[in-house]
Amino acid sequence: MQTIESLSYRLSSYLESHQINSVKRAYFYAEQAHIYQKRRSGEPYVTHPLEVANILATMHMDHQSLMAAMLHDVIEDTPIDQSAMTAQFGEKVTELVDGVSKLTQFEFDSPAEKQAENFQKMALAMARDIRVILIKLADRLHNMRTLGAMPPEKRHRIAKETLEIYAPIAQRLGMNDVRLELENRGFDAMYPMRCNMLQAALKNARGNRKELVSKIQSAIELRLEREDITALVSGREKHLYGIYKKMRAKKKSFSEIMDVYAFRIIVDSVDTCYRVVGVMHNLYKPVINEFNDYIAIPKANGYQSLHTVLIGMHGVPIEVQIRTKEMDEMASSGIAAHWFYKANDNDSNVPGGSHARARQWVQGLLEMQQRAGDSLEFIENVKIDLFPDEIYVFTPKGKIVELPAGATPVDFAYAVHTDVGNRCVACRVNDRLAPLSQSLKSGQKIKVITSPTAQPNPSWLNFVTSGRARSGIRHFLKNQRHHESVELGQRILGRALQQHNINIIELTTEQIDTLVKDTNTPSLDILLEEIGLGNRIAQGVARLLLSDNDERLEAGTNIYSPLMIDSAEGLAISFARCCRPIPGDPIIGHISTGKGLVVHRDVCRNLSDVRSNPEKIHLVNWAPNVTGEFLVDLRIEVHSERGIIATLATRITEFGANIEHINVDERDAHNSVITLCVGVPNRVHLANILRRLRALRSVIKVSRGKN
């Protein structure tokens, strides 16, 4: 078992004596704080912070990180508070400890919300000091090593959180060794039977592969020696969770995954890396489109290497990674490799730009956090953003932009800038117009076309892949919905107050304060938003301004002028799908909780229940100049014949109408009913389309769809 003395001896290789003494002082402080506490395994609790510090020592972390590792559970699990710790160890160490500590003083509605809030707190601390996440990863790694003492339910929950959040974070920071151990231990805890079966199969496969691996390795070493290249060649072992993920993602059997032989070649310089690629392509035939240059274009986490796939002896595929010794260290330890911390500075200097990349990623987290509506939405966006696979595309000026695999031009637009994403209307991929939903590929040049009047489309959420784009779209729509709901709420409340001869614009400060106080809302804007969203009834709010015996309460509820609908666009006003009203239809509106004002045709059968509550009914009318496209359902009975759908579609598009979707119901061998959803600006336009369709010889009957 690790002791403080053995750790001190280890630290003496890279820390000064006064720094080691500070680490020892933190250990003894933690030992006293946790003196009566035991781990589930029965060991004294202080063994856990000691092991966490030991993991950080293998990364050559600075003394403040090691002190924080010793103290990381003190605030959370003992009566000692932050002020007492600051007095003993200073603000820097206390900030690190607080960043890792969970929120224990709050009640949460669900475990998911608790997890999300704690991660959000840690993300804020990471933005101030990146060392917070390194301490947290070391803490999680030791917890995973000792997970066996936990009850099954808790073990499963911790393993799931590790696989979904902490292992991808370790990968994002380039800490491959930590990631592999977290993944394998998480896999074992979450799926023990699958893990055991794969382990047995892997052990068996290793024995069968040993001879061929040895032959390939010898052939590579011999060729490199002949070319006078000094290199270290090793067979690369696939780890269990990686095999499991590949089997699931590619729907391949274990034997198919294991058919690929992987090798790593470590050389002395970047020039030699490229020479080795040429030698390998001479030795075995390369597979076209399977060469990746991560030296010229490093991955987002700073990873650098050359990857190629070859067809070796007996036709077996061989994956080869070629890199320098420094690149190999960076690939194993990432941001933790060669850590140097300046005692009087807030920044760290890590060779290879890994620290700068980590800071850039954390800054991205911070932006997502500011736009997210709540902690659950934030953590969902973070999970999306932790994609291991990336593509690299270019701006028109040649700048490289990293995006998750499957990213679209909308993801690219938001990666350039949030305003570019919000104003995006079209794009060019390699100088050709392309749809915004198209998946991008590495090496493409993307140009985004913007318009000052454009705004995000809610349908974009169906195809964007990056957390930044998703949070940007949601943030904009949420703000737009808020403004529209406030405006609608003001109009509805204004009309409710008109019944009682009160003008909403002339409300005094005292009256507004009364409304806010009596409705228990933070502000008038929030109250108006709730009215606009249908969460409060305007007449009820209006009555709060009047005395109980006020005669004006006896006035009718709908004597005022109707609300005017002037556009198809909007989030606070929606059009019912059951009857699909379009400009020119007699309409009526009702307030629906959480949806705002829902507009129906006045003949809609679904309104029968709503009419029983007059306070929720609102008179609405079309403005003289309504803009936008409104959807309407058409039911067309036809004689079945070849090309009838194409004929109908041609007639409709000739009138400038868009077809949203088509459904065909074959009644018998001779007749069919075709249902179309068409976008039109008004009833006149619809009447012209119906007249044109009725003129077709194959059409028996055309009618507008009903409920």
Catalytic residues: 76-77
Secondary structure, 3-state, 312-349: CHHHCEEEEEEEEHHHHHHHHHHHHCCCCECCCCCCEC
Task: For residue 521, count CB atoms less than 10 angstroms from its CB and return exposed for 0-12, middle for 13-18, buried for 19 or more.
Answer: middle
Q: Taking each helix axis as running N to C, give the angle between helix 47-58 and helix 17-33, from 0 to 180 degrees, rounded to the nearest 10.
A: 150
Closest C-alpha among 115, 102, 94 to residue 164: 115
Contacts of 685 (CB under 8 A, 6+ apart): 655, 657
Q: What are the Cα distances from residue 357, in Å, to 290, 395, 449?
A: 26, 19, 28
* Strand-pair category, 292-293 with 261-267: unpaired
At 146, the amino acid letter reads T
Contact 416, 468 (CB under 8 A): no
Q: Taking phi first (over 0 means left), then psi (-120 to 50 degrees means alpha), and beta for anything else, what does residue 314 get? A: left
Quick one: tokens of 691? 């007249």
Long-range contacts formed by 23-28: CB under 8 A, 24+ apart:
23/53, 23/63, 23/66, 23/67, 23/70, 25/67, 26/66, 26/67, 26/68, 26/70, 26/71, 26/89, 26/93, 27/53, 27/70, 28/4
Quick one: tokens of 154? 């808790």
Contacts of 384 (CB under 8 A, 6+ apart): 404, 465, 466, 467, 470
At 61, the amino acid letter reads M
Run of H or E residues at 637? strand 630-639
Quick one: tokens of 399? 């700048």
CA distance 35 to 33: 6
Measure CA 660 to chain center.
29
CA distance 173 to 334: 6
Run of H or E residues at 264? strand 261-267
The number of beta carbons lying within 10 Å of the beta carbon of residue 46 is 21
Residue in the block written with tokens 């390998």? 280
